Amino acid sequence: MSDKTILRALRGEVLPTPPVWMMRQAGRYLPEYRATRAKAGDFLSLCYNPELAAEVTLQPIRRYGFDAAILFADILLIPQALGQELWFATGEGPRLTPVAGAEGLRAADAVHDTLSPVYETIRVLRRELPPQTTLIGFAGAPWTVATYMVAGRGTPDQGPAHLLKDTDRAAFTGLIDRVTQATVEYLSAQVDAGAEVIKLFDSWAGSLKGADFDDFALTPARTIIAELKRRHPGIPVIAFPREAGERYVGFARAVGADCLAVDNSVSPEWAAQLQADGCVQGNLAPHHLVNPERLEEETARVVEAFRGGPHIFNLGHGITPDADPDNVARMIEAIRRRR
Q: How far is CA 51 from CA 36, 65, 85, 118, 290, in A?
A: 11, 20, 24, 10, 30
Q: Which domain holds residue 260?
A: 5-336
User: Residue 162 — very low, low, confident or very high, per pLDDT cuts 50/70/90?
Assistant: very high
DSSP secondary structure code for residue 273 in this structure: G
Per-residue pLDDT band for 338 (boundaries 50, 70, 90) equals low
pLDDT at 339: 59
Q: What is the mean pLDDT of residues 100-122?
A: 98
pLDDT tens-digit readout, 257-310: 999 999 999 999 999 999 999 999 999 999 999 999 999 999 999 999 999 999
Provide the number of structural domains found in the chain.
1
Q: For 88-99, what is each residue's pLDDT tens digit?
A: 987 788 999 999
Nearest-angstrom CA–CA distance, 23 and 320: 10
The answer to whether residue 23 scores a pLDDT higher than 80 is: yes
Which CATH number is 259's domain given? 3.20.20.210
**Which residues are CB-neighbours of 270 under 8 A, at least 6 positions away?**
none
Report residue 335 CA to chain centroid gap.
Answer: 22
- The whole-number pLDDT of residue 92 equals 80
Reduced to 3 states, what is the DSSP secondary structure of residue 199? strand
CB atoms within 10 A of CB 57: 24
This prediction has a pTM of 0.97
Peptide bond into 291 cis (omega under 30): no
On average, the pLDDT of the chain sits at 97
Does residue 68 carry a pLDDT above 70?
yes
Q: What percent of the chain has pLDDT over 70?
A: 99
Distances (CA, A) of 246 to 24, 173, 276: 25, 25, 15
Can you give the pLDDT at residue 6? 98
**How many angstroms separate the CA atoms of 218 and 296, rounded?**
35
User: 205-262, pLDDT tens digit by residue?
Assistant: 999 999 999 999 999 999 999 999 999 999 999 999 999 999 999 999 999 999 999 9
pLDDT of residue 1 exceeding 70? no
Write down the pLDDT at residue 2. Answer: 73
Catalytic residue numbers read 24, 28, 37, 74, 148
| Rounded distance between C-alpha atoms, residue 247 and residue 56, angstroms | 34
For the chain, list the strands marked E by DSSP.
68-70, 86-89, 93-96, 134-140, 197-202, 237-241, 259-261, 279-284, 311-315
Question: CB within 8 A of 129, min separation 6: which ones?
Answer: 58, 61, 69, 135
| Residue 130 CA: distances (Å) to CA of 51, 66, 235, 236 | 17, 10, 20, 20
